[in-house]
Amino acid sequence: MNKEDENIEKGFVSIFLTSFTTIFIAELGDKTQLATLMLSAESGKPMIVFLGSSFALLCSSIAGVLIGKWISTKISKDKFSLFTGILMTLVSVWIGYTIFNINY
Amino acid sequence: MIINLLISSFITIFIAELGDKTQLATLTLSGTSKKPLAVFLGSAAALILASLVGVLAGGSISNFIPEIYLKLIASLTFLIIGSRLIFDSLNK
């Protein structure tokens, strides 16, 4: 119970930094999006492309946050953790699998 | 012309990002913490910084760091967070 309380009390800055680091790392490994960005940047107006894609990324994070919040009200925290934990592990295995495809 | 480019960048990136692993991570962070605003601000800052680096450098970060390392880091991060979540949920 104490552990649970600590998790809830975790500060704003700490959650901000955790989210920032996780998403930044996830995004670094994600070449597709940046490649798409570059293709459109070849149009010669990178700032416009940057504005458009930033806005799109904001919208997709809002959607992610809201969906996560919504699901967490529907099912118990443990089930949510188990489900997303399994999904993340599968994603990890998938990324690992694509690494082998780069080599061979 | 500018508005066309703006809209096409928006749509391309928005669709590319839907259901992506980044969104899965945001969803997980939001569902497991009590401060959705902090999660939103943190992930928004990371995403904007990542695309800013892309635009300014005129290429993706994978031009500087070999793709295999980027993927390895991403894979390990997801493995650590994923197994921690599974461990936490079973260890109650």
Domain spans of chain A? Answer: 2-103
The shortest C-alpha distance from A2 to chain B (Å) reads 12
What is the reported pTM?
Answer: 0.78
Q: Nearest CA to A26 among B40, B83, B20, B74?
A: B74
Q: Is residue B14 part of a domain?
A: no
Where residue B20 falls among pLDDT bands split at 50, 70, 90?
confident
Q: Is residue B86 part of a domain?
A: yes
The separation between CA A46 and the C-alpha centre of its own chain, rounded to angstroms, equals 24
ipTM: 0.79
* Residue of chain A whose alpha carbon sits nearest to that of B48: A54
On average, the pLDDT of chain B sits at: 82
Q: Is residue B6 part of a domain?
A: no
Q: Is residue B31 part of a domain?
A: yes
- The domain total for chain B is 1
Q: Nearest CA to A7 among B88, B78, B82?
A: B88
Compare CB distances from A23 to B5, B47, B71 and report the shortest one's residue: B47
Q: Is residue B1 part of a domain?
A: no
pLDDT of chain A, 104 residues: tens digit per residue: 444 444 545 688 888 888 888 888 887 767 666 666 666 667 777 788 888 888 888 998 999 999 999 998 998 888 888 988 998 899 899 888 888 876 55
Q: Is residue B4 part of a domain?
A: no
* Residue of chain A whose alpha carbon sits nearest to that of B24: A64
- Which residue segment(s) compose the domain that B53 sits in? 21-90
Q: Is residue B33 part of a domain?
A: yes
The shortest C-alpha distance from B3 to chain A (Å) reads 8
The shortest C-alpha distance from B65 to chain A (Å) reads 10
Please tell me if residue B17 touches chain A, with a CB cutoff of 8 Å: yes
